[in-house]
């Protein structure tokens, strides 16, 4: 591929060269940020995880940890009583969170894709929680006096049975659903606030995918006598399947790295409160490996069912 060609004795960019230059300029901010900021911190974190750190008046001094540097990793996996349990609980909660968020966001995107008055306002309302849960606004919400007062009043007026148990008891008494389905529905109802907050980006992704489907496919299908249900399963769902993969992976990462995640809170406490940089870094890298393994597993399973339209 030629990026330059001679014209009037001078080297000039070809069309492919201009496209390549535009691509490099597009990724330049990421490259500067990654190699200038993130990569040094990543390498430093790896170094901390294999070392013991002593802080003195002249700064910190690193010394190699025991067991050939794997002391902190062995401690996290075999000695610490909370780390493994927290990781397993995060994985368990992640499965239900991902399923609920994907179902809700897909359903909401289909509704918002319909033509009705005020559609733009409705789309903004569904994306508004994403803005509310970002940065300083989230910290303001968490420290809000009114919210804390309401939560304390709710706790004082509680009869001792949680909303989760109330819903589960109702469903078990008046339906014949399996226990697993009842538990899943109860979690969905009691956690609807968190589900809506976590679904803003996924709704936009699904909405963009739905709008990219050619209307001619539905027109041809309707002429053949297909019903709306058949259109959904034969056209909409297959065409949107690549975005299901994208949203599933995004939601997994978001669930594992959210502010309320127990493992993330434990790592932050270990590093910044207990000042155990080596042990905290080892916990973080073990957690990263667990997340990467799950992403590879889920991505491999879902990608086999993905339909790509050429």
Average pLDDT over residues 274-303: 93
Cβ atoms 211, 276 nearer than 8 A: no
Q: How high is the pLDDT of residue 305?
A: 86
Q: How high is the pLDDT of residue 65?
A: 86
Runs of H (alpha helix) within the chain? 15-33, 39-49, 71-74, 83-112, 119-132, 135-142, 145-156, 163-174, 179-190, 192-197, 200-212, 215-223, 228-231, 237-256, 262-268, 277-303
Cα dihedral sign, 135-137-138-140: positive
Tokens of 47: 């170094």
Percent of the chain scoring above 70 in pLDDT: 76
Tokens of 218: 């539905």
Interval 13-39: pLDDT, tens: 777 878 888 888 999 999 999 999 999
Q: pLDDT category, 156, cuts 50, 70, 90?
A: very low
Q: pLDDT category, 160, cuts 50, 70, 90?
A: very low
Does CATH place domain 72-146+175-303 in 1.10.3720.10?
yes
Kindly list the domain boundaries of the chain, sorted by start residue: 1-26, 72-146+175-303
Phi first, then psi, for residue 302 (nearest 5°) are -70, -35
Q: Reduced to 3 states, what is the DSSP secondary structure of residue 87? A: helix
Average pLDDT over residues 51-68: 82
Q: What is the rounded CA–CA span in Å between residue 261 and residue 194?
A: 13
pLDDT of residue 142 exceeding 60 = no
Average pLDDT over residues 80-102: 89
Q: What is the rounded CA–CA span in Å between residue 58 and residue 35?
A: 27
């Amino acid at each position: 591929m030629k990026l330059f060609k001679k014209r009037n004795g001078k080297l000039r960019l070809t069309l492919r060269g201009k496209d390549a230059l535009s691509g490099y300029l597009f990724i330049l901010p990421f490259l500067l940020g990654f190699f200038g900021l993130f990569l040094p911190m990543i390498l430093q974190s790896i170094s901390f995880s294999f070392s013991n750190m002593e802080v003195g008046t002249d700064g910190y001094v690193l010394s190699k940890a025991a067991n050939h540097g794997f002391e902190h990793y062995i401690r996290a996996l075999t000695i610490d009583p909370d780390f493994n349990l927290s990781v397993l609980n995060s994985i368990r909660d992640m499965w239900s969170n991902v399923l609920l968020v994907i179902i809700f966001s897909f359903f909401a995107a289909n509704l918002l894709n319909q033509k009705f008055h005020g559609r733009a306002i409705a789309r903004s309302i569904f994306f508004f929680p994403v803005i509310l849960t970002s940065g300083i606004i989230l910290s303001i919400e968490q420290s809000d006096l009114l919210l804390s007062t309401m939560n304390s009043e709710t706790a004082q007026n509680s009869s001792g049975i949680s909303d989760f148990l109330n819903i589960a008891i109702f469903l078990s008494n008046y339906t014949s659903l399996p226990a697993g389905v009842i538990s899943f529905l109860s979690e969905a109802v009691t956690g609807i606030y968190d589900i809506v907050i976590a679904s803003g980006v996924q709704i936009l992704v699904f909405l963009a995918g739905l709008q990219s489907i050619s209307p001619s496919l539905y027109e041809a299908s309707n002429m053949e006598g297909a019903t709306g249900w058949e259109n959904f399963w034969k056209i909409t769902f297959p065409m949107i399947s690549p975005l299901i993969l994208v949203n599933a992976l995004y939601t997994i990462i978001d669930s594992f790295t959210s502010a309320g995640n127990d493992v993330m809170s434990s790592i932050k406490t270990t590093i910044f409160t207990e000042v155990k940089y080596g042990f905290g870094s080892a916990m973080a890298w073990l957690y990263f490996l667990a997340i990467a393994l799950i992403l590879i597993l889920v991505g491999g399973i879902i990608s086999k069912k993905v339909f790509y339209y050429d």
